[in-house]
Structure 1
Amino acid sequence: MADERTTASGPSGTLVGRTGELATLTGHAESAIAGRSALVLLTGPAGIGKTSLLRAFLGGDACRKMTVLHGSCREVASGTGYGGVRALFAALELTHENAGDSPLLRGAAARALPALTPDPGPDEPCAATAYPVLHGLYWLAANLMSQGPLALVLDDAHWCDERSLRWIDFLLRRADHLPLLVVLAQRTEAEPTAPAAVADIVAQPRTSVLRLDPLTEGEVGEMARLVFPTPVAPTFAERAATVCGGNPLTVARLLRELRARGVPPDELGIREIDEVGRGVVALSVRALFDHRPGWVRDVATAIAVLGDEDAQHIGALAGVPAARVEEAVTLLRGAELMAPDRPDLAHDVVRSAVLGTAGAPALAALRAKAALLLSDIGRPAEEIANQVLLVPGTPEPWMRVVLREAASQAEHRGAPEATARYLYRVLEAEPDSVPVRIQLARALAEINPLEAIRLLEHALSLTSDIRAKAPIAVQYGMACLPVQHSRSAVRVLTEILDALEAATGPEPDPADAELLTLVRSALLITGSDEKATIDAVRERFARMPEPPGDTPAQRQILAVMTLHRALGGHSAEQTARLARRTLSSSGVEVDNWSLLLSSVGLSLADDGDGALEALNRSLRLSQENAAVWSYVVALSSRALVLHGLGAMADALADAQTSLEIIGEERWSSHVTLPQIALATVLIDRGEPERADELLARIARPNFELFALEYHSYLMARARARWALGDGDTALRLLFDCGASLAEAGLTNPVFVAWWAEAALICAAEKRPDRVRDAVDHGTELARRWNTPRALGLAALARGVITPGAPGVELLTEAVGRLSVSPGRAEYARAELLLGGALLGTGDPRGAREHLRNAADLAQSCGALALARDARRRLVAAGGRMREITASPVDLLTGTERTVAGLAARGAGNREIAESLFVTVRTVETHLTSVYRKLGVSQRTELASVLHTPSVPDPRAPDWVSAARGRY
């Protein structure tokens, strides 16, 4: 870019007064080449020399060692979705047409296409949320960095759109040890288009702020010596620096104007500086226009509005022939108002001066005319709409059409901020437009759900027809979920459902039936979120017939009905049947909600394999859609299922991996399942301190209101406190859990078996009477649920609080029942407790047999704490057993095991990184640690070291081992 590049740096293009800043930028580039990523925010007022400095930097030796992508933002495109991204990547010419042939778009990088193309094609898949596009752009940058160090240099970043800045923030948070340098140049006096996004970037530890100061008197003297052929008096340079405030652009303009007037650079010339210096750019523009034909001003103004356009389009806007445009450009370039290397004005200060001569009414009319011109020549709607946004007043009808189309394009590419910006202008003219409010709320649901809720409430108030209100209510209900407004959602959806059922009658037509299904599905989902609503919703739908499951909404209803039946604890057999029906294929793709909820029902019904299959399908679907939140929930859910199956090492791998993934996300504080899952596993692995610390850091607002995760949290926290010797706190937490479950009407005995855990603590502390009522209640629930795990836990709980031979009999029953359940770790614990009871009744031989079984079972499960306890008791009972020691595989962290397992199956580092939503560098770091801990030197050795036949293997994705039917 050549606007400020010559004028701000000196008439000959020599960079004056910026040696230190150039050295700083070069140092950051050398660090990036060495693998230390950084972002430099280059700031200063207009004309201070930012772009001149960038040009010098980009022409230096350091940048010749890097792939450099250089772009500039413009005010007219400041609201475009991913406009800054397109400015950076434009030189790569990545389009839908060449996507299949470009190595840069391989793998997940193909998801970047919606951001790279100004006009989304009709066949381009819609980016339902922003994350997939951000993820794709990250991998596009990663592909570039695989070829060498990368520099992203974006000028005039104060006009950069929010979505592009959010991607830069996203990229930097994943930039550990990457050869990446990002340079953003922005004006200090200009309010950024997206101040919050800029603030987040500045807060990054990799960000350095480089402020350009005004030129000194000596540096102004150096510039003057480049202009004047005669000696420059020090007082002349001093006065010029004072009048111009040391601004290089203003100084250069002043010096050239003084020379053109024949003013000498001495004591006599000082008197001319004040007259010429103030407002020198605007004065020079006005002077040029005053001495040239009117069409020169018209051409310059058209260029100021349209920017870099061909002569035909500039002429059409200015109302002059193309030949005259060329003549005007020559005149403007001679006056140094035009850039020397492209058909645009030399600087935005010049642009402002040119537009200032037009007057507000004339400029508004010209921008409207420019929008029409761009429409006539077939430019994308967003480009046209950006001109419309700069037209003051209420948008005209044709402008609203353009703004709506632009909003749809922005929504299509996953740019909600741009969508909202366009639609808010439409709303100015159509404040009671329900369709606009609905679309605007859809865009804001991800970035500002409270505003989305307000818009939808207004839309509901504007709508009288119940059939039209129903879809709005569904959208309202889903918008309420992220901000914990479930009670409002349930109230609205209940009112709508009542009115809709009354309007459609007992035998609704197919369209009404589907509408009813949508509302029922939304009500079930939102009502299942909090304790205050779950019981009422469950009661309402208790007698509702099961839908056939032929549509996505019907599938969701089946899934939520599965969840409610499971949590109600009435029939494990019916729950499992309903879950399998939800998952069965009948031409309708099963969504993540349905997969996740069905897995809960199957797991509670002792169908561990079925639960894993559902979660593996959810993980695959989440990967395909780059849905990181769903992926994290499914992965941590699978960790809990694996823990219940006694596969502790695999559970640890899933839980820790899910926690590592959310560590890169700004919404991580609202996700609690990874922490709960990891803590649950760590307790059985003998690390209660770490588990307790992890749980203590959970700070989700109003966590106690939630129906599902809160109770799992209480259970995990109680187990951690008991393992740390704090029985009183553990019991308090468990009884709190029981009271909370009762408040929510959740009566499944194995969902959170707090009563059985409390029985173990009370038995150990010789306080069995404190828990008898709870055990009796749990036993009754277990008999109703009637699974081996539930009945085994009931016998276990009764056995530990029953002394003598009756207690041994109950514990023997517990061992028998749990031995045929999927709960291998619980089976090991039952063996341990039976062995202890036999010791108490004087049967050391029988005790040793069960204690040995407990130790062997627990060690094979990876429940190291239980295994060591069993061995200690065995030795105390006169038995022999080697020390329980961790195998080399047990030394791996959970994420290391996940990475190692995928690598052992043949996945490359990039495939592993894409599948786990982490960086390639993260994978490399984990593999290095794996090789060191396992004592291997290459991937081919991993499979034999990791192979443990007795442990379920749920982690092989389709792209590694499709035939195994996993993941």
Structure 2
Amino acid sequence: MLDRADLRGLSSALLGRAEELRVLARHAEAARARRAGLVHLSGPAGIGKTSLLRAFLKSDACRNMAVLYGSCRQVVGGAGYGGVRELFGSLGLSGEDARNSPLLRGLARRALPALTSGPADEGTPGGPGVYPVLHGLYWLVANLMADRPLVLVLDDVQWCDERSLCWVDFLLRRAEGLPLLVVLAQRGEAKPVAPVALADIVAQRGPTLLRLAPLATRDVAEMARRVFPGPVEPCFVERAATVSGGNPFTLSRLLTELRAEGVQPDERGARRLAEVGGQVVSLTVGALLDRQPPWVRCVARAIAVLGEESPELIATLADVPPSLVADAVLVLRRAELMAPDRPDLVHDMVRSAVLGPAGATASAELRTRAALLLSDAGRPAEDVAGQLMLLPAVSQPWMPGVLREAAAQAEGRGAPEAAVRYLYRVLEVEPHSVPVRVRMATLLAEINPAEALRLLEEALDRVGDIRTRATVAVRYGMTCIAVQQSPAGARVLEEVLAALEAGLGPEPDPADRELRTLVESVLLTIGADEKSTISAARDRAARLPVPPGDTPAQRQMLATMAVLNAMEGRSAGRTAEQARRALRFPGTELESWAVISSSFALSLADEVGDALDALDGLLQHSQATAAVWTYVLGLSARALILHGAGAVPDALADAQTAIEIIGEERWGDGAVMPQAALATVLVDRGEPQRAEDLLLGIKRPDLDRFVLQYHWYLMARARARRALGDREAALALFLECGDSLEKSRFTNPLFLPWWAEAVRLLVKMNRADEAREIVEYGSELAGRWGTPRALGLAALSRGLVTPGGAGVELLTESVRLLAESPARAMHADAEYLLGRALLKTGDQRGARERLRAATDLAQRCGALALAGASRKLLVTAGGRMRKMSASPLDMLTGMERRVAGLAAAGESNRSIAESLFVTVRTIETHLTSVYRKLGVSRRTELGAVLHTPDIPDGQPPGWVLESRWRR
């Protein structure tokens, strides 16, 4: 903490700022105690933000802490990761030897594209993606905090780019338990480069707000006494406070200039203050420069434009001999116009005062010359573009080329917003350009899909060539899914497809055939997204020939057709064959949605092994590239498939990992699939209330429009309501699910088998007649699909509504069929229902045999609710079975089980955190819980505790592996 001695010696610029220094010191102390904090410091230009920050960083409050300080500059404000480079510049990580730095070990190497102003290295891990760089910067900071707490200060954030601010937000979302203090200083009156990103951080991260107020009259008097040797009259102080507005920088310039003029701090001096008025800085700077030789003003203007640059470049721009630059810098520094610790002007208010007298036209000409000088010097295109972005107009033929190159550099480092900003200036010169709009839309597809859609609409209005229009329409269609406007995308693609068929003729060349196939596949994909378009997509797919799958577009088409066939529920064999053909070229990368679609279709066809293999590959690729959203979707899809296969602990691990990841991401609120997956598993784990709470937290608007998400939600909610004892509400939800699926023409009996669940509930409610109607409906669908799981489920439902021995025979048949399927939890459920039926007929011995099998199988599946019910009924039937074991898999949560398995396999906490996209602190918390639950004290003991004959360490349960072998 700061003591009185620290505060007694405050400089003039820090008068009246003692309390703000104390607040910052308290936050530094909290960071030492691993309580991460954020301080947002704001005030007008010259109010003393930078002086306050530098005093804080030099104080005892920051002793033995790592410090990163960066000040954003207007000339590089729009450059991708410009703020990050200002912060990390002192670490020297942008040179040739940076890769060997210990700070860049592990995933921290992904940060390299953000740390250099030049073109991104093509061999940089992670490539041009956004998330690889964000993750890399996070781990770079984690490395910095390994030995001591970190203070990260970013000054003048009003000129900070979106990517740098997004990274700050990314870091703060993962800051719990970290020894970290982040301080953001903002000039309140300046329009931010990235207002949304900055406002989001301030609104959502709950910072301590420090708004620097103007100096009090007593502080103005103290500053005047420090400048003038004699007594200072009150009238002079009052007028000085009024004229300067209590702004320390303005006041300092004013008092210094008045003293140079020989003005005394009395009533006459007060009148001179009134003459100066509000133009303090510009007048004082102008007066200082007027007293110097003309070449000093030329050098000052060159420095005002170029900032911290080499003397040679400054001399060339100023049109003076290089020898005079050093002399001019000494003159400017003595006049306190240059910063004492860097080759730049002391403040941006001085920069404006230096450039102001030249006028807008002359300043623009000077910036244009500066851009050409930087280009001739071989500087990166983004450095050159920084000057062009400050021009009122992009007026010369060479400028768009530089801006395009700068956009490519920004894209290459994972900074799409900066790339788009450059391209917007290109549009000023080329207002009708379709390629520029398409490039911008591609860059914005993930971060601002609504703006991407608008640009694509403009492109479609301007394009004439049908092939180009088709390419644009494909992007438009996929973007429509992201903004939940699939019907609009379908309409555009239908029009384009009709024009393609008319324009290409009956025998198009291979390239045109591929283009048409791509348009058709995307049309089917977006048509399958919403209820209003699913019927048209199904009808169109039925008319199309099945492609061989020899090209990328054909494989995308096969993946979509496989899903639509699975929805129809008529041929499991054909569906599986199409899905396999879509995936059959492992060396070529399918879109993530196509992989997930194919695995979904395969799982419905009981080809669980192939489905899991496809998702495993997708997850490995998304881990390697830090494609977080793809990783979350892949985990959610795998969780649902594993749950269907009876691997409940593994399903829980996947679903819970997905939920933890989206909890740290800004886009997590709009997700549905992860919550539905986890809720589905939680019901089987005996946690229905937690499942319902999770589902009620979904914030997707108009959820009932969507074909897949809505029905996952309904089914999970119905099962939770049933487990909570609310049969009527559960039945209503099951029936709503069935009605909605039928309207969507989604008649696969295994995709959310609402009919079987409703039958079971109706039987419990003594409404067998109603149940029989649903049994007939579901049995017909199951017979058409024909897989062992579908047929077994139909036999089970018929058995429930059939009394006596005939019902027992049907339940026995369902057990036999389900034993041949990968659905082990469903098989356990059938054993339980058969045991219950046998008990009712008086066959206690047979009942005990079945209930014992049900208990054992359910417990191995991790279906704890079913295992408990089976064991309870077994005891009622007179059977004995050892008490359900407190197996490690039962005691651990899904995420704990995953972390424990990786730790037992020898992975470090850091490597586990990197692979699961969470923080080391999160892993430490999970391991602490694991040790407590398992009664161990170190990770070396985990392997022996976790290992069971059925579940090899780190692998899915044995029966899931078995299903893979069986294919």
- In the superposition, the TM-score normalised over structure 1's length comes to 0.94
2:467 aligns to what?
Answer: 467
1:841 aligns to what?
Answer: 841
1:28-43 to 2 correspondence within 5 Å? 28-43=27-42
Question: How far 1:177 sits from its partner (Å)?
Answer: 0.9
1:259 aligns to what?
Answer: 259
After superposing the two structures, state which structure 1 stretch, 544-553 or 202-211, moved more.
Answer: 544-553
Give the paired residue count. Answer: 951
Measure the CA separation in 2 of the matches of 1:482 and 1:321.
Answer: 58
What letter is aligned with 2:619?
L
Measure the CA separation in 2 of the matches of 1:809 and 1:923.
Answer: 50
2:640 aligns to what?
Answer: 640
**Which SS does the other structure have where 2:812 is aligned?**
helix
What letter is aligned with 2:57?
L
2:359 aligns to what?
Answer: 359
The C-alpha deviation readout for 1:671-719, integer Å capped at 9, x for no partner, is: 1111111111111111112212222222311211211222222111111
**Residue 437 of structure 1 contacts residue 459 of structure 1 at CA under 8 Å; is this kept in 2?**
yes
2:111 aligns to what?
Answer: 112
Measure the CA separation in 1 of the matches of 2:642 and 2:60.
Answer: 54
Question: How far 1:890 sits from its partner (Å)?
Answer: 1.7
2:511 aligns to what?
Answer: 511
After superposing the two structures, state which structure 1 stretch, 37-46 or 558-567, moved more.
Answer: 558-567
**Residue 108 of structure 1 contacts residue 914 of structure 1 at CA under 8 Å; is this kept in 2?**
yes
2:154 aligns to what?
Answer: 154
Measure the CA separation in 1 of the matches of 2:954 and 2:743.
Answer: 36
**Residue 494 of structure 1 contacts residue 523 of structure 1 at CA under 8 Å; is this kept in 2?**
yes
What letter is aligned with 1:862?
G
Measure the CA separation in 2 of the matches of 1:498 and 1:370.
Answer: 52
Is it true that 1:378 corresponds to 2:370 in the alignment? Answer: no
**Residue 36 of structure 2 contacts residue 177 of structure 2 at CA under 8 Å; is this kept in 1?**
yes
Cα 1:341–1:847, aligned 2, differ >3 Å: closer, same or farther? closer
Q: Where does structure 1 lack aligned partners over 5 or more consecutive residues?
A: 1-8, 958-963
1:83 aligns to what?
Answer: 82
1:274-673 to 2 correspondence within 5 Å? 274-276=274-276, 278-585=278-585, 587-673=587-673
Cα 1:532–1:128, aligned 2, differ >3 Å: closer, same or farther? farther
Q: Where does structure 2 lack aligned partners over 5 or more consecutive residues?
A: 1-7, 958-963
What letter is aligned with 1:529?
D
2:881 aligns to what?
Answer: 881
What letter is aligned with 2:678?
L
Question: How far 1:247 sits from its partner (Å)?
Answer: 1.5
Question: How far 1:219 sits from its partner (Å)?
Answer: 2.2
Measure the CA separation in 2 of the matches of 1:99 and 1:277.
Answer: 52
After superposing the two structures, state which structure 1 stretch, 287-296 or 680-689, moved more.
Answer: 287-296
The C-alpha deviation readout for 1:893-941, integer Å capped at 9, x for no partner, is: 2211111111111111111111111000000010001101110111121
Cα 1:590–1:956, aligned 2, differ >3 Å: closer, same or farther? farther
The C-alpha deviation readout for 1:587-629, integer Å capped at 9, x for no partner, is: 4234423321221122112122222211111110110111111
Measure the CA separation in 2 of the matches of 1:172 and 1:407.
Answer: 28
Question: How far 1:630 sits from its partner (Å)?
Answer: 0.9
2:746 aligns to what?
Answer: 746
2:92 aligns to what?
Answer: 93
Question: How far 1:797 sits from its partner (Å)?
Answer: 0.5
**Residue 474 of structure 1 contacts residue 519 of structure 1 at CA under 8 Å; is this kept in 2?**
yes
**Residue 480 of structure 2 contacts residue 488 of structure 2 at CA under 8 Å; is this kept in 1?**
yes
1:173 aligns to what?
Answer: 173
After superposing the two structures, state which structure 1 stretch, 306-315 or 655-664, moved more.
Answer: 306-315
**Which SS does the other structure have where 1:203 is aligned?**
helix
After superposing the two structures, state which structure 1 stretch, 92-101 or 853-862, moved more.
Answer: 92-101
The C-alpha deviation readout for 1:218-264, integer Å capped at 9, x for no partner, is: 22233233223334445543443333222211222222222222233
2:101 aligns to what?
Answer: 102
Question: How far 1:274 sits from its partner (Å)?
Answer: 2.8
1:682-697 to 2 correspondence within 5 Å? 682-697=682-697
Question: How far 1:315 sits from its partner (Å)?
Answer: 2.1
**Residue 11 of structure 1 contacts residue 252 of structure 1 at CA under 8 Å; is this kept in 2?**
no
Question: How far 1:273 sits from its partner (Å)?
Answer: 3.4
2:771 aligns to what?
Answer: 771
Cα 1:170–1:872, aligned 2, differ >3 Å: closer, same or farther? same
Question: How far 1:543 sits from its partner (Å)?
Answer: 4.7
What letter is aligned with 1:78?
G
Measure the CA separation in 2 of the matches of 1:155 and 1:955.
Answer: 49
2:224 aligns to what?
Answer: 224
After superposing the two structures, state which structure 1 stretch, 287-296 or 858-867, moved more.
Answer: 287-296
1:922 aligns to what?
Answer: 922
What letter is aligned with 1:513?
R
**Residue 861 of structure 1 contacts residue 951 of structure 1 at CA under 8 Å; is this kept in 2?**
no
Cα 1:853–1:11, aligned 2, differ >3 Å: closer, same or farther? closer
The C-alpha deviation readout for 1:323-359, integer Å capped at 9, x for no partner, is: 2333322322222212223321111111111111111
Question: How far 1:876 sits from its partner (Å)?
Answer: 2.3
**Residue 477 of structure 1 contacts residue 523 of structure 1 at CA under 8 Å; is this kept in 2?**
yes
The C-alpha deviation readout for 1:502-527, integer Å capped at 9, x for no partner, is: 33334332221222232223223222
The C-alpha deviation readout for 1:59-109, integer Å capped at 9, x for no partner, is: 122333122111111112221111101111112222373343122222222
Cα 1:586–1:917, aligned 2, differ >3 Å: closer, same or farther? closer
Is it true that 1:934 corresponds to 2:934 in the alignment? Answer: yes
The C-alpha deviation readout for 1:150-179, integer Å capped at 9, x for no partner, is: 221111111111221111011101101111
What letter is aligned with 1:51?
T
Measure the CA separation in 2 of the matches of 1:101 and 1:452.
Answer: 39
Q: CA RMSD in A?
A: 2.3
Measure the CA separation in 2 of the matches of 1:655 and 1:296.
Answer: 66
Measure the CA separation in 2 of the matches of 1:277 and 1:257.
Answer: 13
Measure the CA separation in 2 of the matches of 1:532 and 1:106.
Answer: 50
What letter is aligned with 1:950?
D
Question: How far 1:885 sits from its partner (Å)?
Answer: 5.9
Measure the CA separation in 2 of the matches of 1:333 and 1:825.
Answer: 78
**Residue 531 of structure 2 contacts residue 744 of structure 2 at CA under 8 Å; is this kept in 1?**
yes
Cα 1:14–1:288, aligned 2, differ >3 Å: closer, same or farther? closer
What letter is aligned with 2:948?
T
**Residue 235 of structure 1 contacts residue 266 of structure 1 at CA under 8 Å; is this kept in 2?**
yes
Measure the CA separation in 2 of the matches of 1:35 and 1:10.
Answer: 30
**Residue 552 of structure 1 contacts residue 591 of structure 1 at CA under 8 Å; is this kept in 2?**
no
The C-alpha deviation readout for 1:109-130, integer Å capped at 9, x for no partner, is: 2221221121214625685542
**Which SS does the other structure have where 2:398 is aligned?**
helix
1:855 aligns to what?
Answer: 855
**Residue 556 of structure 1 contacts residue 593 of structure 1 at CA under 8 Å; is this kept in 2?**
no
Question: How far 1:574 sits from its partner (Å)?
Answer: 2.4
Measure the CA separation in 1 of the matches of 2:459 and 2:647.
Answer: 50
Give aligned-pair identity as a percent: 64
Measure the CA separation in 2 of the matches of 1:29 and 1:714.
Answer: 48
